Amino acid sequence: MFSYPSATHEHPITQTKALFLALLCAIWVITGLIGHDPWKPEDAQSFGLAYHILQSGDWLIPAIAGEPYLDKPPLFYMTAAACAKLFSPTLALHDGARLASGFYTALTLLFTGLAGRELFGSGRGWAAAIILIGCLGMLVTAHQLVTDLALLTGCAMMQYGYSLSHRRPQRAGVLLGTGLGIGFMSKGFIAPMLFLLISAALLLFRNWRTRPVFTSFGIAAVCALPWLVIWPFLLYQRSPQLFAEWAWTLNIGRWFGYARGGDYDEVFYYIKILPWFAWPALPLAAWAAWQARNRVLHQFEFQLPLVSFAVMLVTLSLVPNIKDIFALPMLLPLALLASASLSTLRRGAANALDWFGIMTFGLLAILMWWGWTGLLLDNHAKITQWLKEYQPGFIPTVHTPMFWIAIIATVLWLVMVWRVGRSIRRSVTNWAAGVTLIWVLAMTIWLPWLDSGKSYRSMVASLKHALPAQYDCIASQRVDDTQRALLQYLGNITIRRTHGDCGLLLTQENRMSKREENQREWKQIWEGGRSSDKNERFRLYRKTVDNR
């Protein structure tokens, strides 16, 4: 069994090790960004907003299929549109747009690493970044087009800014203000709220009530002002009605309404999901907090991540919308705390995490290769039959570049598992490498199978073929913004959001839904859906002549 050095001895990170860890992070970030259609829900919706920018040239007001969508400010959509346009000669628009996710994720890892090094010393920066990419909650989300990734970057910049505020207040203020602004322009008022609450909570400790800290907060306010003012001002100048819809109806008013009579049944939701969502950062952070329990009142390096996590957990648990993806900011302070635990981690616990990761990801890799080979050879194993039934009509083929990438990744993982030197960082490095291996296999040999079920491309082609040669417009019923965006992009089919006065009606139903044709006003002319989703059905109706 592998063993670890004592807690008092830690091998420094050499240049070779740093290059290896940088390569691991780069592979994890890049894999999965290109090569597949936009997938619902967030990936497709965000691309639809970026696609509108490219089509209309309107960088101010986010819209889907021509209709304003003001749930969030447009910074992330602007970045996605810029990436799509920049790489359009080489990549499909949706693949180019998804590079924006890689851009923000890479920045998040950078600032998390810098914060870890500033708080806990040399070597802890790499540990914080590696622990973050190993968190299960980051894996899929970090490779989708979601505005939460830009918010995460803003929060990471703020964590680094806080960590610098005692030593470099001017630089800290710029980072705090810029991070706050990026978060605001990506997700709205949640970023300023987190900044105010975290800052107020930190000031409860005596060692944060110093001149450099107050200086950094003042500079942060000045640097954040342009981010907080320019876009809302331009939106108000364009349309006071849309400004009111964004500021009140979809944001402040929604929060007040929730506070007066909201449903708080899910207030403990994040506490329930964090054990898997933040694994392995959560247990390592808990150990670090326990070890530092007698120093929290005196050492700012522990106060910052503990206060940040507590504020994020309470604040995000009391907002109107509760979703897994909204827990991403909480991973930052947990990763920072976890990096501090490595020097005091018990040898048995480190060995257990190491072997658990090796066995788990080794077994998963074997199952993924076995399942893919079974599909390719069309054997009669139960798993093969299930996979074929789940994606009816899918024809497996060998994509040579993807196959060799998967082979190389598997061999490199095996070499790394057996050849990486003994280190207190070994367990988290092996865990992150295992997560990366599984993700590489999923996004190479398994990507055609996944895309076959998740893509709407074939369904949209079928719908477009069924459309009459002449029609005025297409109304919709229960067709969400994600699907409207994909219809616009994949088929240039514009769907109105409401059940309006149009000659055609597209509905999204389940298998048991009552058909519109039973109301004797509409005649069904098409039905379709994704092959993997037996419950989601789309039906196209034409209004009968007698009722036109």
pLDDT confidence tier of residue 2, bands split at 50, 70 and 90: very low
Please compute the mean of the pLDDT values over residues 436-446 and round it to a whole number. 96
Burial class (CB in 10 A: 0-12, 13-18, 19+), 279: middle
The residue whose two tokens read 């194993």 is: 381
pLDDT value, residue 277 = 97
Please compute the mean of the pLDDT values over residues 327-333 and round it to a whole number. 98
pLDDT value, residue 383 = 85
User: For the chain, how long is the longest CA-to-CA vector?
Assistant: 86
One domain for residues 59 and 166: yes
One domain for residues 465 and 443: no
Residue 7 lies in a domain: no
Please compute the mean of the pLDDT values over residues 140-158 and round it to a whole number. 97
One domain for residues 336 and 358: no
- CA–CA separation, 224 vs 277, rounded Å? 31
Q: What tens digit of pLDDT does each residue of 188-243 get? A: 999 999 999 999 999 999 999 999 999 999 999 999 999 999 999 999 999 999 99
Q: What tens digit of pLDDT does each residue of 537-548 get? A: 899 999 886 544
Tell which wins on pLDDT, 512 or 120: 120
Residue 537 lies in a domain: yes
- CA–CA separation, 191 vs 162, rounded Å? 14
Residue 22 lies in a domain: no
Reading phi first (left if > 0) and then psi (alpha if -120 to 50, else beta), residue 493 is in beta
Tell which wins on pLDDT, 485 or 264: 485
One domain for residues 291 and 238: yes
Q: What tens digit of pLDDT does each residue of 45-85 get? A: 999 999 999 999 999 999 987 889 999 999 999 999 999 99
- CA–CA separation, 176 vs 162, rounded Å? 7
- CA–CA separation, 542 vs 241, rounded Å? 34
Query: Which residue range forms the structural domain that includes residue 517?
Result: 458-547
41: preceding bond cis by omega (within 30 degrees): yes
One domain for residues 364 and 476: no
Q: What's the length of the chain?
A: 548
Letter for the amino acid at 113?
G
Token output for 253: 């008013």
Percentage of the chain exceeding pLDDT 90: 66
Residue 399 lies in a domain: yes
Question: Of the candidates 428, 454, 480, which is a domain's last residue?
Answer: 454
Please compute the mean of the pLDDT values over residues 131-141 and round it to a whole number. 96
Residue 337's closest CA among 306, 291, 299, 307?
306
pLDDT confidence tier of residue 89, bands split at 50, 70 and 90: confident
Question: Of the candidates 420, 454, 488, which is a domain's last residue?
Answer: 454
Residue 132 lies in a domain: yes
Domain count for the chain, please give it.
3
- CA–CA separation, 482 vs 86, rounded Å? 24
One domain for residues 204 and 326: yes
Please compute the mean of the pLDDT values over residues 97-120 and round it to a whole number. 97
> Does 455 have pLDDT greater than 60?
yes
> Does 5 have pLDDT greater than 60?
no
> Does 511 have pLDDT greater than 70?
no
CA separation (Å) from 235 to 68, 116, 238, 247, 472? 12, 38, 5, 10, 31
Token output for 419: 């050849």
Phi, psi of 67 (to 5 degrees): -105, 130
pLDDT value, residue 4 = 37
One domain for residues 445 and 306: no
- CA–CA separation, 150 vs 102, rounded Å? 10
Q: Residue 410's CB: how many other CB atoms inside 10 A?
A: 18
One domain for residues 411 and 505: no
pLDDT value, residue 300 = 93
Mean pLDDT of the chain: 90
DSSP 328-364: GGGHHHHHHHHHHHTTT--HHHHHHHHHHHHHHHHHH
> Does 448 have pLDDT greater than 70?
yes
Strand locations in 261-326 (E): none
- Tell me the pairing of strands 522-528 and 504-509: unpaired
pLDDT confidence tier of residue 515, bands split at 50, 70 and 90: low
CA separation (Å) from 180 to 155, 168, 184, 313, 341? 7, 18, 6, 18, 28
Residue 140 lies in a domain: yes
> Does 13 have pLDDT greater than 70?
yes
Token output for 273: 């999901």
One domain for residues 118 and 251: yes
The helix (run of H) or strand (run of E) holding residue 56 is: helix 42-56
pLDDT value, residue 40 = 81
Residue 56 lies in a domain: yes
Residue 186's closest CA among 158, 150, 221, 220?
150
Percentage of the chain exceeding pLDDT 70: 93
The helix (run of H) or strand (run of E) holding residue 163 is: helix 148-164
One domain for residues 118 and 213: yes
Q: What tens digit of pLDDT does each residue of 260-317 get? A: 776 677 889 999 999 999 999 999 999 999 998 888 888 999 999 999 999 999 999 9
Question: Of the candidates 454, 481, 504, which is a domain's last residue?
Answer: 454
Token output for 338: 């976890």
SS3 168: coil
Burial class (CB in 10 A: 0-12, 13-18, 19+), 536: middle
One domain for residues 477 and 378: no
Burial class (CB in 10 A: 0-12, 13-18, 19+), 546: exposed
Q: What tens digit of pLDDT does each residue of 405-431 get? A: 999 999 999 988 886 655 567 889 999
CA separation (Å) from 297 to 72, 180, 207, 289, 502? 38, 26, 9, 12, 66
Token output for 403: 């196959």
One domain for residues 233 and 118: yes
Residue 520 lies in a domain: yes
Q: CA 228, 234, 235, 237: dihedral to nearest 10 degrees?
A: 130
